């Protein structure tokens, strides 16, 4: 069980919950929050994140990105703690869990409104496919540097705007700014992972953004992501200003600055704790942002 829990990579879950939390807070600011929908959004997202992590463990081992000389934590399939067959079965199990939780969510949100259900079911199936295809298959998109774009779409735009729609049944386009904040911070987590793994990824033919542009430029890219996330939130508040309390999220800025500084200065073998720190900082940012909106 311990091996499986490690393979689930629970430290990544705060990042998944952050985008759902943002969507929930935005809905609550419109007085349209629903506890059951929020719970089902969280469970579906958690299943998707674990599915992505298990697929990544399997795919990176098959393609050679995870090996004994890799800087980051040892992976389950690569180490032999979990067999390839067992991991495939786990991936299938979590696909089913995603479907069951997701379909239940859609029924709770839309009842028998078939058009909306089919639209979001399509998004859900696309999310499942994206979670698997990142590192699994003959041409995984994570190996050509498209992981950042995928994270922006699914952890930012779809995660926030989609969950907000499930509560409110309408799109509010100004909410794209806080959605982009979540997306940029989520990419920052991936960027730390990819900076850490530059050498092993390059040797395995995995051309992530840091592999393509080099570590120095990847660090500058990291600062752009951190600043971009903050500026999007600031822009949202300025265009929807009610009270100074809406700037409460700026209390998370020092933690983001610490993350940027550490990523800039630490050697690759010491970057791993910054993944968890960035994920938790993102969750704190969302909590403070949401609280500011509710108190305004």
Average pLDDT rounded to a whole number, residues 227-231? 98
pLDDT at 68: 52
pLDDT digits (tens, 9 = 90+) for 194-211: 999 898 888 888 899 999
Domains of the chain, by residue range, sit at: 12-295
Local confidence band at 79 (pLDDT 50, 70, 90 cut-offs): confident
pTM over 0.85: yes
The whole-angstrom separation of Cα 207 and Cα 144 is 5
Confidence of residue 10 (pLDDT cuts 50, 70, 90): confident
Separation between Cα atoms, residue 214 and residue 148, nearest integer Å: 15
Confidence of residue 150 (pLDDT cuts 50, 70, 90): very high
Closest CA to 140 of 218, 52, 212: 52
Report pLDDT for 213. Answer: 96
Q: CA 214 to CA 270: how far, in whole Å? A: 18
Please report, for residues 125, 155, 256, the alpha-carbon distance to residue 284 in angstroms, rounded to integers and kept in the order given.
29, 16, 11
Position 137 pLDDT exceeds 90 = no
The sign one gets for the Cα dihedral 31, 37, 43, 44 is negative
Average pLDDT over every residue of 261-277: 94
Q: 251 falls in which pLDDT band (50, 70, 90)?
A: very high
Mean pLDDT of 24-44: 96
Per-residue model confidence (pLDDT) at position 119? 94
DSSP string, 17-47: HHHHHHHHHHHHHTT---HHHHHHHHHHHHH
Contact, 106 vs 120, CB < 8 A?
Answer: yes
In tens, the pLDDT along 48-73 reads 999 999 998 887 777 655 555 555 56
| Longest alpha-carbon distance in the chain | 56
pLDDT for res 3: 87
**The pLDDT of residue 292 is above 70:** yes
């Amino acid at each position: 069980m311990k091996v499986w829990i490690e393979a689930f990579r629970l430290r990544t879950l705060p990042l998944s919950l952050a985008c759902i939390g943002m969507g929930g807070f935005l809905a609550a600011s419109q007085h349209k929050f629903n506890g059951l929908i929020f719970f089902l959004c969280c469970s579906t997202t958690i299943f998707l994140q674990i599915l992505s992590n298990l697929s990544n463990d399997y795919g990176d081992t098959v393609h050679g990105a995870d090996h004994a000389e890799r800087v980051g934590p040892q992976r389950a399939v690569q180490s032999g703690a979990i067999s390839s067959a067992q991991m495939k079965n786990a991936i299938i199990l979590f696909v089913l869990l995603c479907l069951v939780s997701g379909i239940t969510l859609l029924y709770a949100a839309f009842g028998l409104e078939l058009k909306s259900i089919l639209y979001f079911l399509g998004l859900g199936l696309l999310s499942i496919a994206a979670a698997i295809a990142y590192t699994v298959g003959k041409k995984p998109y994570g190996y050509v540097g498209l992981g950042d774009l995928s994270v922006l779409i699914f952890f930012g735009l779809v995660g926030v705007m989609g969950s907000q729609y499930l509560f409110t049944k309408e799109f509010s386009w100004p909410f794209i700014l806080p959605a982009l904040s979540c997306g940029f911070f989520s990419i920052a987590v991936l960027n730390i992972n990819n900076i850490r793994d530059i050498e092993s990824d390059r040797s395995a033919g995995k051309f992530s953004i840091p592999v393509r542009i080099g570590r120095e430029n990847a660090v500058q890219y990291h600062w752009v992501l951190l600043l971009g996330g903050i500026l999007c939130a600031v822009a949202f508040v300025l265009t929807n200003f009610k009270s100074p309390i809406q700037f409460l999220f700026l209390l998370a800025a020092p933690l983001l600055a610490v993350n940027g500084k550490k990523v800039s200065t630490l050697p690759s073998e010491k970057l791993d704790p910054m993944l968890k720190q960035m994920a938790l900082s993102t969750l704190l940012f969302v909590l403070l942002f949401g609280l500011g909106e509710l108190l305004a």
